[in-house]
Amino acid sequence: MTPIDVTAWTALLLGLSALFAGIGALRKPGIWRTMIDEVERSPALQFLCGMVELVVGAVVYLGNPWIPADLLSCALKTMGGLMMVEALVILGFCDIYTQFWLRSLGNMQRGWALSTMAVGLALTVVALARFN
């Protein structure tokens, strides 16, 4: 039985999700702002978003070892840790945090979408290269 490369699979899945989230944001300008508006108005969505990000961040963090020679693994572990921190901020300070994103998305929605796509594409390409 061949062991799976958890780091490659994590990078591929995160990369594809970021890539397609960016595509969706370009296809429907303003959709991210609408989502953040909805989260800001709903304590249930605030809790749900925080908990989902906490679980995903924990899976990414715990699934990727810290191996200094493996930059992708270290990057994913760091990303998972940052996701968990952001999740805790959402759970505790969503009203303040959403205001930051609403101001940012108002002027730079296309820029954020393109940046998200670039990160997603980079993660996807690096992950696919590791499968060979």
Per domain, the residue ranges of the chain are: 6-130
Give the pLDDT confidence score for residue 49 in this predicted structure: 94
**CA angle, corner 66, sides to 68 and 5, nearest 5?**
100
Convert the chain into a string of H (helix), E (strand) and C (coil): CCCCCHHHHHHHHHHHHHHHHHHHHHHCCCHHHHHHHHHHHCHHHHHHHHHHHHHHHHHHHHHCCCCCCCHHHHHHHHHHHHHHHHHHHHHHHHHHHHHHHHHHHHHHHHHHHHHHHHHHHHHHHHHHHHCC
Span 34-80, pLDDT tens digits? 888 898 899 999 999 999 999 999 999 999 999 999 999 999 999 99
Q: Has this prediction a pTM greater than 0.85?
A: yes
CA dihedral 40, 92, 22, 52 (to 10 degrees): -110
